[in-house]
Amino acid sequence: MGQLPIWFGFGSVIGAGIFVLTGQEARYHAGPAIVLSYVASGISAMLSVFCYTEFAVEIPVAGGSFAYLKIELGDFAAFITAGNILLESIVGSAAVARAWTSYFTSLLDRHPNSLRIHTNLSGGYNLLDPIAVAVLAIAATIAMISTRKTSLLNWTATVVNTAVVLFVIIAGFAHAKTSNLTPFLPFGVEGVFQAAAIVYFAYGGFDNIATMAEETKNPSRDIPIGLLGSMSIITVIYCLMALVLSMMQKYTDIDPNAAYSVAFQNVGMKWAKYLVALGALKGMTTVLLVGTLGQARYTTHIARSHMIPPWFALVHPKTGTPINATLLIAVPSALIAFFSSLDVLASLLSVSTLFIFMMMAVALLVRRYYVREITPKINLLKLIIFLLIIIASSMGTSAYWGLRITSWVGYAITVPLWFLGTTGIAVFLPQQRTPKVWGVPLVPWFPSLSIATNIFLMGSLGADAFIRFAICTVVMLVYYVFFGLHATYDMAHQQQETQSLKGNTEDKMKKAGP
């Protein structure tokens, strides 16, 4: 990452989210207020980035959120997060690949679904996508050949993508009409937050920077610049692109599959349609390549902890890349991309992403206020109680909002409870750790607010997303009980025996003396 942390962050994030989800959510959930959805999700993402940055600077190891949670919250929390990381990786790659097909057909002047195979399966699963499978296979192959080639492709594609994004903003505003912003809230405030929860997916790639912390020349400088710098720029760009799309045409005319290409065609710039489609393809290709690289690192780190079979941690002797880990993500991604539509994938992906970021905020509070064998037990008990109050009150607010209850009584209870829990940590608990280089400001308020916003956005998603998430979680728990728990226990036991043997050997050498 070295000298180009912001470029890496930009390439990791910009992709399917902005080019596809913007049109889908503006058309069906938010209308012109889609710009507010990006503001809301951007604020929540930035709070999460603060937490990631402190962890990445203080613990510059590969593994990202999985490694951080394993250190701070233990094996079980790390395993649940690991399962969600793998789920996010698989579903995210599938979603980007489906979006790639839509813009590719737009480039060919065809209907977005014209190259998909129509079947009689249920809605959301009835359009088979062989092109998405091919794109995923190519991305995985490149990632398995060489990390260096992937990084070079990322840098090149990011430059091209940046130019196209700037073109969309400048040329789009030249054809913008303020009259298209009326009505601004056709689906109400509920639609704004529902769209915010979905487009949160567009911010998810920044975790790939944290996974490369070990490889940075100067983590204390490069990681904050890469995470905070790129996320600040990207949030502004997303808001501008959402606004320009809404001003170029009425929200009812926005194409949900290839929104920006069709928008330029509708304002009489058909030649720009091809340029934008090509730029979108470049952006999504970059996300697939960088994502495959980061996902393989994640999977390798998880496998080294024996939470999944260690076979996935093997590195090929010739290419120096984790081929098995790459295939673990690529194969199920291809199967899901072949059957599932983007809207089905996006909601499940958002729940998983929001859950991981919420857990990161919890872990940061634990890191700041608890040190094993140093923190008094009474302070640990206080921390647990205050964290439970924060999480429970946030869940209450989220549930109250999700049930569309118009009365304010529930909020009058849950919001003060959140404030009480956060104040309790700030007033009654001394911080046990002070970051050496860079730390989250306004602790515990920023991490607590991150917990609340992530849980609130989760509540804005539909019931179907939670049902799918619950099914995946049950599968993870079953695997953990029958396989993961025993594997991690055996590994811990082996480590203890190794340390004991090492200690005995050292004692014997000391007794033998010179």
Per-residue pLDDT tens digits for 346-365: 777 788 889 989 999 999 99
Q: Mind listing the pLDDT tens digit for each residue in 441-498? A: 999 999 999 999 999 998 888 777 778 788 888 888 888 887 767 666 555 545 554 4
State the alpha helices, DSSP H only, in 14-146.
Answer: 16, 22-25, 34-58, 64-73, 75-107, 130-145
Of 41, 439, 391, 438, the residue nearest 204 (C-alpha): 41
Residue position matching structure tokens 């400048």: 170
Nearest to 287 by CA among 492, 94, 493: 94
Report which of residues 258 and 9 the model is more confident about. 258
Which token pair is 42?
């951007």
The two three-digit tokens of residue 272, written as one number: 């720009």
Q: Which residue has the tokens 């050949």?
A: 145
Quote the percentage of the chain above a pLDDT of 90: 34
Q: How does residue 2 score in pLDDT terms, banded at 50, 70 and 90?
A: very low
Q: Which residues face 128 on adjacent strands?
A: 117
pLDDT tens digits for range 234-244: 889 999 999 99
- Across 438-466, b (16+ Cβ under 10 Å) vs e yields bbbeebbbbbbbbbbbbbbbbbbbeeebb
d(CA 190, CA 188): 5
Q: What is the mean pLDDT of residues 107-124?
A: 82
Q: Give SS3 for 118.
A: strand
User: Any idea where the domains of the chain sit in the sequence?
Assistant: 5-375
Q: Chain-centre distance of CA 365, in angstroms?
A: 20
Higher pLDDT, 493 or 383: 383
| pLDDT category of residue 3 using cuts at 50, 70 and 90 | very low
- The pLDDT value recorded for residue 37 is 96
Confidence of residue 501 (pLDDT cuts 50, 70, 90): very low
Q: Read off φ and ψ for residue 127, nearest 5 degrees.
A: -115, 100
In three-state secondary structure terms, 108 is coil
Write down the pLDDT at residue 216.
Answer: 60
**In the chain, how many H helices and how many E strands?**
21, 2
On the question of pLDDT at 369 being above 60, the answer is yes
Task: Round to whole Å and give the CA distance between 245 and 254.
Answer: 8
Phi, psi of 11 (to 5 degrees): -65, -30
Give the tens place of pLDDT for each residue, 33-64: 999 999 999 999 999 989 988 988 888 776 67
Look at the domain 5-375 and name its fold: Amino acid/polyamine transporter I (1.20.1740)
Average per-residue pLDDT in the chain? 83
Q: Kindly report whether the peptide bond that precedes residue 444 is cis, defined as omega within 30 degrees of 0.
A: yes
Q: What is the pLDDT of residue 252?
A: 94
CA angle 213, 215, 219 (to 5 degrees): 50
Closest CA to 349 of 448, 458, 258: 458
DSSP SS3 for 128: strand
Neighbours of 63 (CB within 10 A): 26
Nearest to 63, CA basis, from 203, 205, 210, 206: 210
The pLDDT of residue 157: 67
Q: Do residues 66 and 232 touch, judged by C-beta distance below 8 A? A: no
Q: Looking at per-residue confidence, does 220 or 196 come out higher?
A: 196
| Distance set, CA 243 to CA 50, 170, 184, 254, 346 (Å) | 26, 12, 11, 13, 21
Residue 21 pLDDT: 85
Report which of residues 219 and 110 the model is more confident about. Answer: 110
Give the integer Cα–Cα distance in Å for 44 and 449: 8
